[in-house]
Amino acid sequence: AQSVTQLDSHVSVSEGTPVLLRCNYSSSYSPSLFWYVQHPNKGLQLLLKYTSAATLVKGINGFEAEFKKSETSFHLTKPSAHMSDAAEYFCVVSEGGSQGNLIFGKGTKLSVKP
């Protein structure tokens, strides 16, 4: 069975400082991994995805994530936080293939202080 664990329910950073949102996954197969962002009263937006190509994945708005199979991790980072980054972030795993339904973590709420 696949699962995702987001290690922090809430992360608070100051504007201009680095962001680290942690995610560990469990999968019996070679997984596809994603990070989605959800701003208040807005739909889920795909930030980036890993599908067995390069292990360092670059996404939108300066975010990137590194797939580490040995650590079963897919942490999301950004060098410098912006106020507009404040949102809920979800780490997601998909088995893909004939199914393709996504399994979401519980989310990490990112707060950015001025």
Which positions lie near another protein, rule CB under 8 A?
A: 32, 34, 36, 42-46, 49, 51, 90, 92, 94, 96-107
Q: Which is nearer to another protein, 42 or 70 (CB)?
A: 42
Taking the complex as a whole, the smallest distance from the CB of residue 67 to another protein amounts, in Å, to 14
DSSP string, 42-96: S-EEEEEEESSS-SEEE-GGG-EEEEETTTTEEEEEESS--GGG-EEEEEEEE--
Q: Which is nearer to another protein, 67 or 90 (CB)?
A: 90
Q: Which is nearer to another protein, 40 or 114 (CB)?
A: 40
Taking the complex as a whole, the smallest distance from the CB of residue 77 to another protein amounts, in Å, to 20
Q: Which residues contact 95 (CB under 8 A, 6 or more apart)?
A: 2, 27, 29, 31, 32
